[in-house]
């Protein structure tokens, strides 16, 4: 059974708990599952499975953003993404599109996507903000400094949490100036993007300071390299991406309990279970307070 139909408040989907966004990479080179779902039939089957496991949105992306990845051409990205979005939508799956290109965002929305997830926060394509404003769809604006091939060279911060907040605020102002309704925007602190392992932990620990920006937060930690560092063996070998799901779920619980609007993950079932536990725990706490 799919997650419940999305309910929108002020332009953003807002179920009565933290939202779950399932990852569907239709790429040959993503860090965790590159090539596994490049075939459209396999991609659609996996997208349906993610929705069946409880993903509220299935996030379809045709460009790998792992460190060092090279960009596909526009035509390659369109060919990977649009048919999958179209087929999933036809089967009743709520789809978001993970893209830094305005033309891909527009084509995906035309194919049925209900949200644009832009990991560049509008910096990779000067047309993105105007396009999203015209499409009038929800938009996730992520903290970003450089494309994958260069992002490891852009990890200097005076105070990583304050700098991320300031840079997000700058892009948020630009998005609103371009006509995107503030009520349709969510922010993503960009875990794993132009940040060292330690800096990622500092950002997660500082989510309260990012909540102060006044917009919903999406937190995307799933299987990322900083978790591999944490779980490295005695020889220093990083835990492989497919063996980081338990750690991912732990971050999901903490993010959801800390008020995240959405968490993005490869393992939709454990993530959906985790956010439901967090929600029921919070309800029980409120019941105890009320009875007291």
Q: Which residues, 6+ apart, have CB-to-CB distance to 19 below 8 Å? A: 13, 56, 57, 261, 262, 263
- DSSP H helical segments within 190-259, as ranges? 197-205, 207-211, 225-230, 245-257
Among candidate residues 80, 87, 195, 224, the one labeled active-site is 224
Q: Strands, DSSP E only, in the chain?
A: 8-9, 12-13, 19-25, 57-61, 95-98, 115-118, 139-142, 185-188, 218-219, 262-265
How far is 33 from 28, CA to CA, in rounded Å?
Answer: 8
Residues in the chain: 292
Note if 264 is an active site residue.
Answer: yes
Exactly one of 87, 145, 184, 264 is catalytic; which is it? 264
With both helix axes pointing from N to C terminus, report the angle between 268-291 and 245-257 in degrees, rounded to the nearest 10: 30
Catalytic residue list: 224, 264
């Amino acid at each position: 059974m799919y997650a419940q139909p999305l309910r929108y408040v002020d332009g953003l989907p807002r179920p009565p708990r933290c939202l779950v966004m399932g990852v569907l990479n239709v790429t040959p080179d993503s860090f965790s599952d590159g090539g596994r779902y490049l075939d459209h039939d396999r991609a659609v089957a996996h997208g349906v499975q993610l929705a069946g496991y409880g993903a509220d949105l299935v996030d379809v992306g045709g460009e790998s953003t792992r460190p060092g990845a090279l960009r596909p051409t526009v035509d390659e990205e369109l060919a990977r993404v649009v048919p999958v979005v179209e087929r999933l939508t036809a089967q009743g799956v709520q789809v978001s599109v993970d893209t830094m290109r305005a033309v891909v965002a527009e084509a995906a929305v035309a194919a049925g996507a209900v949200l644009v997830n832009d990991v560049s926060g509008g910096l990779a394509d000067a047309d993105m903000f105007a396009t999203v404003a015209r499409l009038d769809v929800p938009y996730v604006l992520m903290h970003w400094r450089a494309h994958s091939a260069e992002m490891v060279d852009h990890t200097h911060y005076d105070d990583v949490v304050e700098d991320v907040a300031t840079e997000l605020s700058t892009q948020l102002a630009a998005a609103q100036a371009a006509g995107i309704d503030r009520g349709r925007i969510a922010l993503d602190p960009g875990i794993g993007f132009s940040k060292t392992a330690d800096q990622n932990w500092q950002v997660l620990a500082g989510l309260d300071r990012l909540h102060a920006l006044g917009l919903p937060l999406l937190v995307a930690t799933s299987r990322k390299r900083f978790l591999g560092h944490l779980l490295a063996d005695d020889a220093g070998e990083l835990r492989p991406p497919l063996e980081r799901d338990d750690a991912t779920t732990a971050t999901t619980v903490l993010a959801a309990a800390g008020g995240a609007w959405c968490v993005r993950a490869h393992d939709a079932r454990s993530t959906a279970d985790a956010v439901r536990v967090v929600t029921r725990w919070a309800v029980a706490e409120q019941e105890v307070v009320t009875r007291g």
